[in-house]
Amino acid sequence: MKRKTIAAATIGLALVGGTAPAEASTVAVNAPCYIQGAPVTASGTGFTASGPINFSFDGQLAAGGTADTAGNFTQPLTAPLLSGNAFQHTYTLTAQDLTTASAVATTNVTVTKQAASVSPHRAKPSRKVKFGVHGMPPGGVLYLHYVFHGKQRFLRKLGKAKAPCGTLTVKKRFFPVRRPAVGTWTFQFDNRKKYSKHTLPRIAGPVTIFNTFK
């Protein structure tokens, strides 16, 4: 009886001490959102020791790297440039082991432009339009400075930029007055109540006011 008990215990120990399955490959990035063209740091585990790895965004090769002797990597990348009129896009980042085809990992990488938009872009000053702001610090209060001939004429609080990419969409009157001065204004979006053309980060662009005749 003792021998059977010992034998059973030995079998149990043999099963517990069996070979562990291979570690699954992983890849991750160091931020929830990036401005296009900004540096991205990717890190991963579970790749061939000292083996080559390719990195791609939505299937487009972005860089090549090498795992360390433990099969891990830290790889510098660059956030892709958005195409056309897109303000934001979530890419699939793929890390592909070139030695072991099954060693592949993916993660999402969200990229945005630092830009502002007004829709419609042509309207009466008193009409409500949709302001869109992208790529500003998440959680920060956004202000719109109406600047004419280098001086702030009006200030408007728009709201807080939302995570992860610092975006805000809000409807407001195009101008806070019905008849702003005719000419080229500068709209500057930033996080400070006091206007300065040197404020960072900022988004600034021209808006032209002109007279129309019936």
Looking at residue 190, its pLDDT comes to 98
* Helix extents (H) in the chain: 2-16
Give the C-alpha separation, 109 to 75, whole Å. 14
Note the pLDDT tens digit of each residue in 39-55: 999 999 999 999 999 99
Percent of the chain with pLDDT over 70: 88
Note the pLDDT tens digit of each residue in 122-148: 999 999 999 999 999 999 999 999 999
Reported as a pLDDT band with limits 50, 70 and 90, residue 84 is: confident
Looking at residue 8, its pLDDT comes to 36
Looking at residue 23, its pLDDT comes to 75
> Among candidates 48, 49, 50, 79, which has minimal Cα distance to 63?
79
> Among candidates 182, 177, 185, which has minimal Cα distance to 125?
177
* Residue 1 contacts residue 20 (beta carbons within 8 Å): no
Across 160-186, average pLDDT: 97
Across 188-198, average pLDDT: 97
* Residue 50 contacts residue 67 (beta carbons within 8 Å): yes
- What is the overall mean pLDDT for the chain? 90
Across 154-173, average pLDDT: 97
Across 70-74, average pLDDT: 98
Across 59-76, average pLDDT: 98
- pLDDT at residue 201 above 50? yes
Reported as a pLDDT band with limits 50, 70 and 90, residue 85 is: confident
Note the pLDDT tens digit of each residue in 101-113: 999 999 999 999 9
How is residue 178 written in tokens? 């019905």
Note the pLDDT tens digit of each residue in 1-29: 444 433 333 333 333 333 333 579 999 99
Q: Is the pTM of this model over 0.75?
A: yes
The beta strands (E) that lie in the chain are given as 26-29, 34-35, 39-45, 52-57, 60-66, 73-78, 88-97, 104-112, 115-119, 128-134, 141-148, 151-160, 168-173, 183-190, 203-209
Across 66-78, average pLDDT: 98
